[in-house]
Amino acid sequence: MSEFRDILARVAHRHDLTRDEAHSAFAHITSGSAQEAQIGALLMGLAVKGVSVDELVGAATVMRERAVAIPTGGAEILDTCGSGGDVRHTFNISTAAALIAAGCGVKVVKHGNRSASGRAGSADVLEKLGVRLDLPPAKLKECLDECNICFAFARASHPAMRHVAAARQSLGIATIFNLLGPLTNPGGAKLHLLGVYSPHWTEKLAMALRDLGSRRAWVVHAEDGLDEISTLSATRISELQGGAVVTWTLNAGDLGLAKPNLSDLQVADVDDAAAALTEVLAGKSGPRRDIAVLNAAAALVIAGRADALPAGVAMAATAVDDGAARGALESLRRKE
């Protein structure tokens, strides 16, 4: 494919690709016809050069085109998927936030995968808690209708990724694909609470979401390294709203939340992660509840259910205390 070789040459000379070039390149490497060396060359070249917004948009568009879509009946969908890679080994904060938001009536397609760098990914912990990962799209639609939430398992939602898996594993470094998951929700989410592993990416991913048609998003990275809104330190937030991206800083202490130790949020393995999530949804007070409620509050603001974070915190806390968040998980577990 001479066009692809030309694209590799551009990347090798550290030139950014246009959206069309990125679309062409990623269509090729996810088609099954690319050689592993070609895939590795593209991914390494982009990693060394640095990925642009246009490259993110072009690549994400291919993944969206080849995803197994989840029918949503026209509902406006929220996702709390993050990039992963913060290596802080916390419990599944974004999964807890998704369930709490669902308990508040928000429609959530929680996109996620097994762990690559943590102790338990969202797929691992939900599977441990009895949620099926292999439901077909029609059943996922039932979950969304009846439970306000469904889980979109990335491996099932993006079968074209099998064509790049070997090259990614061989490289053993973070690549553009670490950033594409949150941009490629199979339910067509246009509302996002998206955590990233580096402050470098907050504005770029917010701009990519804007150009991909999202309506509102907070792309977050905490000063302590968490890819969540943190209670440990200040959090950088690049907010997409009304077509504009504005970056600001949130301090959880301003909301009256106590500062914990990192160890208060960490888990040892998937069993520990499942127990932590269960305790949060059961209403157990403490640092884990605080950070889950804070992130759920942000999701409620993004979804327009709360006008500001203090109201979101109160609404999220009520959904935990009255059992609505736990009910969302229990309903999800019963779906077969």
Q: What is the side-by-side strand order in the sheet with 191-195?
A: 149-153, 108-112, 78-79, 191-195, 216-222, 235-241, 244-250
pTM of the model: 0.95
Residues 311 and 232 in one domain: yes
Residue where a domain stops, chosen among 37, 66, 95: 66
Residue 73 included in any domain: no
pLDDT reading at 117 higher than 60: no
Residues 59 and 89 in one domain: no
How many domains are contained in the chain?
2
Residues 323 and 204 in one domain: yes
Residues 18 and 45 in one domain: yes
Instruction: Determine which of 118-127, 128-137, 214-223, 280-289 has the lowest per-residue pLDDT on average.
Output: 118-127
CATH number of domain containing 321: 3.40.1030.10
**Bridge-based pairing state of the strands 149-153 and 108-112:** parallel
User: What's the confidence (pLDDT) of residue 138?
Assistant: 95
Residues 134 and 256 in one domain: yes
Residue 166 included in any domain: yes
CATH number of domain containing 28: 1.20.970.10
pLDDT reading at 66 higher than 70: yes
Contact present, 84 and 175 (Cβ < 8 Å) = no
Q: pLDDT tens across 152-211, in order?
A: 999 999 999 999 999 998 988 889 998 999 999 999 999 999 999 999 999 999 999 999
Nearest to 132 by CA among 157, 109, 151, 158: 151
Domain that holds residue 165: 78-334
Residue 48 included in any domain: yes
